[in-house]
Amino acid sequence: MKGVLLINLGSPEDLEISSIKKYLKEFLSDEYVLDLPKIIRQFLVNFIIVPFRSPKTKEAYESIWTENGSPLILNTKLISKKLEKKIKKPVETSMRYQKPSIEAGLKNLINKGCDEIIAIPLYPHYAQSTSLTTELEVRRLINKINPGISLTISPPFYNNSNYINSLSDSINKHLPKDFDYLLFSYHGIPERHVRKMDPTTSHCLKNKDCCEQESESHKFCYRHQVKETSKLCAEKLNLKDDKWGISFQSRIGPGWLQPFTDKVLEDLPNKNINKIAVVCPAFIADNLETLEEMNIRGKESFIGSGGEDFTFIPCINDNDLFIDFLEEFVSE
């Protein structure tokens, strides 16, 4: 029997400071997230980042937490529930970091009689800090639990026509009639991550038009893939080139992909762009980065800079067309 494992990034288990620290420590200790020499990474995580960042992270989570827990986990579970009902096969929800764990999800599927598992990382675009680390962890765990299980891990789906249809449909449902600009805000990553994933070692970020030039690197290039998703959606929505743009949020330091979302939001009113809508397609399910960073802080920044209207467009979440897309994905 075939089973499906939907995987998202992760969230603290609750709002206790110990849970916040536990989540941050596991997440940032991943060598594919914070790709520094181990001893430096451990020092930064254990003695600087986690101790000083945890209180602010707790405050941010408190602003979006629901009575039933983490929005990311709840939204991902809703997707799983809908998909399971549609395909009539077992579907489990798991997180790369913390609970519900990938290991628990795999074991649940196996205990239900699944001898074939399709793991679907819910990251539309390839990055070492999401796609790669998740794939490696799933393969490590299946080899530990039961190497005889048939395992398939789905690739990124950034340009899949059915995914684009579902994303465009979700955007269109929330897009106001009167707006000046649609901003596609993606989670930022360090430029070095883009270069490290370039199989040619000679294409990515070598010139400003590298993402538009044909290359085998595109299969692993986050920057190219987010541009492609945005372009395809803009075409689907019949947007003119001056009505939309791309930016990158959640940067931690210098050397990350640009333009930065916070700077773009501050600058748009200076260009007489006063009514905007913002969508965050790097995420399938709404979470801290969409609900707090964008819909609270991003909105405050734009309005505080002279903007008039800020429309936050939710993630796809359990959009029916997205469930249809997942069903087709599973059946292929």
Across the chain, mean pLDDT equals: 97
Q: Which domain holds residue 144?
A: 2-156
Is residue 325, in this structure, part of any structural domain at all? Answer: no
Instruction: Say yes or no to pLDDT of 48 above 80.
Output: yes
Q: Which of 99, 128, 156 is the last residue of a domain?
A: 156
Residue 302 and residue 204 share a domain:
yes
Is residue 209, in this structure, part of any structural domain at all? Answer: yes
Residue 166 and residue 106 share a domain:
no
Rounded to the nearest angstrom, the gap between the alpha carbon of residue 104 and the centroid of all alpha carbons in its chain is: 22
d(CA 19, CA 21): 5
Cβ atoms of 155 and 134 closer than 8 Å: no
Residue 7 and residue 152 share a domain:
yes
Cβ atoms of 64 and 71 closer than 8 Å: yes
Across 141-166, average pLDDT: 97
Residue 144 and residue 90 share a domain:
yes
How are strands ordered across the β-sheet holding 91-97? 91-97, 2-10, 116-121, 150-153
Residue 122 and residue 67 share a domain:
yes
Across 149-155, average pLDDT: 97
Using DSSP, state whether 264 is helix, strand or coil. Answer: helix
Task: Measure the N-to-C terminal CA separation of the chain; round to a whole number of Å.
Answer: 15
State the Cα torsion 204-208-214-217 to the nearest 10°: 10
Residue 166 and residue 140 share a domain:
no
Q: Which pair of tokens denotes residue 205?
A: 């970020």
Residue 247 and residue 301 share a domain:
yes
Which of 117, 135, 138, 119 minimizes the C-alpha distance to 127?
A: 135
d(CA 309, CA 305): 12
Instruction: Say yes or no to pLDDT of 63 above 80.
Output: yes
Per-residue pLDDT tens for 101-120?
999 999 999 999 999 999 99
Instruction: Say yes or no to pLDDT of 332 above 80.
Output: no
CATH code of the domain covering residue 70: 3.40.50.1400
Across 79-92, average pLDDT: 97
Residue 135 and residue 10 share a domain:
yes
Please report the pLDDT score of residue 254 as a whole number: 86
Residue 259 and residue 211 share a domain:
yes
Per-residue pLDDT tens for 283-298?
999 999 999 999 999 9
Residue 6 and residue 152 share a domain:
yes
The backbone region for 201, taken as left when phi is positive above 0, alpha when psi lies in -120 to 50, beta otherwise, is left
Q: Which pair of tokens denotes residue 232?
A: 């395809």
Q: Which pair of tokens denotes residue 210?
A: 């590298």
Count, residues in the chain: 332
